[in-house]
Amino acid sequence: MNKNLLSFAILALAVVILVVNIWKPGSTEGEKKTTAPSEESVETTEDIPGAKLSSLKEGAEAPELELKTLEGETIKLSDYRGKRVILNFWATWCPPCKAEMPHMQNFYEDYHDQGVEILAVNLTSMDKGVDEVQKFVDEYGLTFTIPLDEEGTAGTTYQAFTIPTSYILDENGVITKKIVGPMDEKMMKELTGVK
């Protein structure tokens, strides 16, 4: 008897779960139905001031950046058209960034003569200052370009909320991939298509 009762209870529970999953209550006549907009219909979404989410999709042109480097030069992302670019966002206090930097340096030394550039944007507004960035660069022997995001606008534009965050850009400045987390040389090689 108990076995039958247990079997009936399990069967009844399964039916209830099935009914709940199939039956979705609709809105009444007077209520306005809301649905999420389709991907195609979203021109820009500004969840965060300055962050145009639709402009960061794979296949979209990367938003322009204009930042000063550690050497005081002003660079623009568009200056790197014709080259594949690893656009990386990092900070000196970030352990995964520290782990990634030697891989980036090795990759840069091996492949920068094949039309690949690394722009490692330091999130200076969230870091310990330019002197700490310079000390880090010297300690790790970094020779690629280090733009400084002193106002925090580049990090916001590129949604670098978890670091490191990197974007792989093709020769036309189009985003081909976004990577959240550290990369190694093998991954960089695969993502940029170098031989």
Is 151 contained in some domain? yes
How many domains would you assign to the chain?
A: 1
Q: How far apart are CA 96 and CA 183, in angstroms?
A: 9
Q: Is residue 15 part of a domain?
A: no
The residues, any chain, with a CB within 8 Å of residue 111's CB and separated by 6 or more, are 189, 192, 194
Inside any domain, residue 56: yes
- Mean pLDDT per 10-residue run, the chain (195 residues)? 65 56 41 34 38 72 96 97 98 97 97 96 95 97 98 95 96 96 96 92
> How many of the other CB atoms lie within 10 Å of CB of 185?
16
Look at residue 34 and tell me if it is in a domain: no
Q: Evaluate whether residue 63 is within a structural domain.
A: yes
Please indicate, yes or no, if residue 94 is contained in any of the structural domains: yes
Residue 21 forms part of a structural domain: no
Domain residues for the domain of 101 are 51-192
- Asked if residue 41 lies in contact with residue 135, where contact means CB atoms within 8 angstroms, the answer is no
Q: Which CATH number fits the domain that encloses residue 171?
A: 3.40.30.10
Q: Would residue 76 count as lying in a domain?
A: yes
